Amino acid sequence: MKKLLVYLKDYKKETVLAPLFKMLEATFELFVPLVMAAIIDRGIGGGNTAYVLRMGAVLVLLGVIGLVCSITAQYFAAKAAVGFSTKLKHSLFEHIQGLSFTEMDTLGTSTMITRMTSDVNQVQNGVNMVLRLFLRSPFIVFGAMIMAFTIDFKAALIFVVTIPLLSIVVFGIMMLTMPLYKKVQAGLDSVLGATRENLTGARVIRAFNKEEEEIEAFEQKNSMLAHMQLFVGKLSALTNPVTYIIINAATIILLYTGAVRVNEGTITQGQVVALVNYMSQILIELVKLANLIITITKALACANRIENVFEIQSSMEWKQAGNIVERDKAEGAGSKRGGDKDCVVDFDHVHLTYAGAGAESLSDIDFHVKKGETVGIIGGTGSGKSSLVHMIPRFYDATKGCVRIDGRDVRDYSMEELRKKIGIVPQKAVLFQGTIRENLLWGKEDATDEELWQAVETAQAKEFVEQKAGRLDFHVAQTGRNLSGGQRQRLTIARALAGRPEILILDDSASALDYATDAALRQAIRDMEGDMTVFIVSQRASSIRYADQIIVLDDGEMADIGAHDELLARCSVYQEIYYSQYPKEQEV
């Protein structure tokens, strides 16, 4: 939690004023029993009505001042807590965005969402409650004990015994429940993950009639979470009854002692009432403190989970653009280059092993691509096609070997410089809520309408975009669910083309397109100006048949590389894929 307190530094004034005003409210509250004692002893006991009215007015004044102090404290506490959570969410989101795909794969989407939302909200509530009650409650408890000593020393000794007993109960329960709340949050992660998976795959679940099985699996996880919450809730719920037992027992002893002391003439009836009032104040504040401890326990558990995310550092280190320029000037522009200088992309005996994987996903990948060439990548499911192209924009780093672009190791580029060269269309078409224009401008922020329409036309999306209401200003729903699969794919291709990249990667991005549209798209890309180097990942032999080079992958290894006719003559893996789609009797 200490590491997160840095986000309160812009709210120093609020973090001081909130507890200060709460302490003022508590101070005025401590005077109330004394005023009540005076009313009983001097006003009611002496039959002085005027004195009762005057002291009654003082009580009202104390109440009004306390209310003003309380409202002011609530305002400053809320402002600090909300500001703290805003900055924390922003920083956490920024940190997560800086993590590589390796860390994101390890953490998982559901747990990151939980920590960004539920966990941060719990910490926000904790900060709010601490600013309001963390000093006020102990101040009232010990203040009431001190005030009791000013009334009668012997009776006040009851407070000295009661308060430590209550502290043992409250803090003992806190120590028991804190680790359990961590388990509850982990269980919430599991339920959220199952919910997200089921909602995302709702169509698949219904298609295979698996609703009952998924409901059963969800109920099992949900019931485990409910049992954990009930168990920790029962432990936390012990706080109130146990504290009430101790306080009520102490009150009985206090009344007995007070009665004896009044009978002896040591103290007055009003002072006994004041002592009981102080005991009641202690009861109320300790109940508040118990609830505060529960909130703090949850907040600390959630804060630790958030800190765990902050402690995860990206396995990728990016060069700074300025450092690259200075280095090139110092060492010479080509000193760090390797491989064939005429090649745009070089894979130099590259190996890739995913974090936690038992075996390599790619082994000894070695090929070279010249500017303007089209490279097809084909292979069976799980052969490593997407893994290979993801190494070009450096989504993952090679565990062995080297990937070069324009003769320079991709690890020597800054992120901005590398990603500016590359346009990638992912396997799953992802669009964001907003207009078509806003989605396309991701490819190039300052693109003109003419450039956007050119990209749309090249991606074979012009016909359906022109038919949409508002055309480029047509509103796209979240994830593009108001568009068909083919329309989403064509818009993601247009988004990549809008930036006019030097290298275009199409990762099985035409799977939802018919053969005619796919062929027209490939022809339009070939006709574009600028000698763009294109990588096409596809399961269709027709999509990569006319590529300058075709890389055939088999279980993470290069089975062969060459043109279509060469591979058809010598590569058994390529033959198997090709003839499964085009029987031999149809071959011309």
Q: Identify the pLDDT of residue 524.
A: 86
Find where tokens 């506490």 sit: 77
Spell 414-439 as b/e; 16+ CB within 10 A means b.
beebbeebbbbbbbebebeeeebbeb
User: What's the rounded Cα separation, in Å, for the pair 35 and 277?
Assistant: 11
pLDDT reading at 203 higher than 80: yes
Confidence of residue 36 (pLDDT cuts 50, 70, 90): confident
Confidence of residue 532 (pLDDT cuts 50, 70, 90): confident
Q: What angle do CA 326, 330, 335 make, to 5 degrees?
A: 105
Residue 230 resides in a domain:
yes
Could you give phi then psi for residue 222, rounded to 5 degrees?
-65, -40
Q: Identify the pLDDT of residue 587.
A: 46
pLDDT reading at 335 higher than 50: no
* Percent of the chain topping pLDDT 70: 95
Residue 226 resides in a domain:
yes
**pLDDT tens digits for 79-99?**
999 998 899 899 888 888 888
Residue 331 resides in a domain:
no
Residues 125 and 188 in one domain: yes
The answer to whether 294 and 177 have CB atoms below 8 angstroms apart is yes
User: What's the rounded Cα separation, in Å, for the pair 355 and 27?
Assistant: 58
Q: What's the CATH number where 485 sits?
A: 3.40.50.300
More confident residue, 325 or 363: 363
User: What's the rounded Cα separation, in Å, for the pair 30 and 25?
Assistant: 9
Residue 543 resides in a domain:
yes
Residue 415 resides in a domain:
yes
pLDDT reading at 243 higher than 60: yes
Q: What share of the chain is helix, strand, coil (3-state, %, to 5)?
A: 65, 10, 20
Residue 4 resides in a domain:
no
Which of 296, 311, 326 is the endpoint of a domain? 311
Pick the closest to residue 485 from 193, 109, 203 (CA basis): 203
Q: What's the CATH number where 86 sits?
A: 1.20.1560.10
Mean pLDDT across 30-51: 82
Does the predicted TM-score (pTM) go above 0.75?
A: no
Residues 469 and 513 in one domain: yes
Which of 267, 294, 311 is the endpoint of a domain? 311
pLDDT reading at 329 higher than 50: no
**pLDDT tens digits for 396-435?**
888 888 888 888 888 888 888 888 888 888 888 888 888 8
Q: Identify the pLDDT of residue 75.
A: 92
Residues 76 and 126 in one domain: yes
Question: Which residues lie across from 350 on neighbouring strands?
Answer: 365
Q: How buried is residue 515: exposed, middle or buried, by Cβ count under 10 Å (0-12/13-18/19+)? A: exposed
Which of 311, 330, 356 is the endpoint of a domain? 311
The string of DSSP codes covering 470-493 is TGGGPEEPGGGTTS-HHHHHHHHH
Most confident range (mean pLDDT) of 64-68, 303-307, 480-484, 544-548 is 64-68
| Total count of domains within the chain | 2
Confidence of residue 339 (pLDDT cuts 50, 70, 90): low
Residues 374 and 274 in one domain: no
Question: Which residues lie across from 369 on neighbouring strands?
Answer: 345
Residues 274 and 419 in one domain: no
**pLDDT tens digits for 296-322?**
878 888 888 888 888 888 777 777 765
User: What's the rounded Cα separation, in Å, for the pair 546 and 582?
Assistant: 15
Residues 359 and 297 in one domain: no
**Lowest model confidence (mean pLDDT) among 212-226, 289-303, 374-388, 568-582:** 289-303
Q: How buried is residue 407: exposed, middle or buried, by Cβ count under 10 Å (0-12/13-18/19+)? A: middle
pLDDT reading at 325 higher than 80: no
Q: Identify the pLDDT of residue 332.
A: 46
Query: Which residue segment(s) compose the domain that 563 sits in?
Result: 339-582
User: What's the rounded Cα separation, in Å, for the pair 303 and 295?
Assistant: 12
More confident residue, 584 or 444: 444
User: What's the rounded Cα separation, in Å, for the pair 177 and 171?
Assistant: 10
Residue 400 resides in a domain:
yes
User: What's the rounded Cα separation, in Å, for the pair 49 and 171?
Assistant: 47
Residues 175 and 286 in one domain: yes
Residues 298 and 158 in one domain: yes
Residues 283 and 421 in one domain: no
Residues 147 and 266 in one domain: yes
Q: Give the DSSP H/E element, type plus range, for residue 552.
A: strand 549-554
Residues 294 and 393 in one domain: no
Confidence of residue 37 (pLDDT cuts 50, 70, 90): confident
CB within 8 Å of 284: residues ≥ 6 apart: none
Pairing of strands 533-537, 475-476: unpaired
Residue 326 resides in a domain:
no
Pick the closest to residue 311 from 74, 52, 4 (CA basis): 4
Q: Identify the pLDDT of residue 1.
A: 64
Residues 201 and 344 in one domain: no
User: What's the rounded Cα separation, in Å, for the pair 345 and 511?
Assistant: 25
To the nearest whole number, what is the mean pLDDT of the chain? 82
Residue 44 token pair: 């009611």
Q: Give the DSSP H/E element, type plus range, for residue 418.
A: helix 415-421
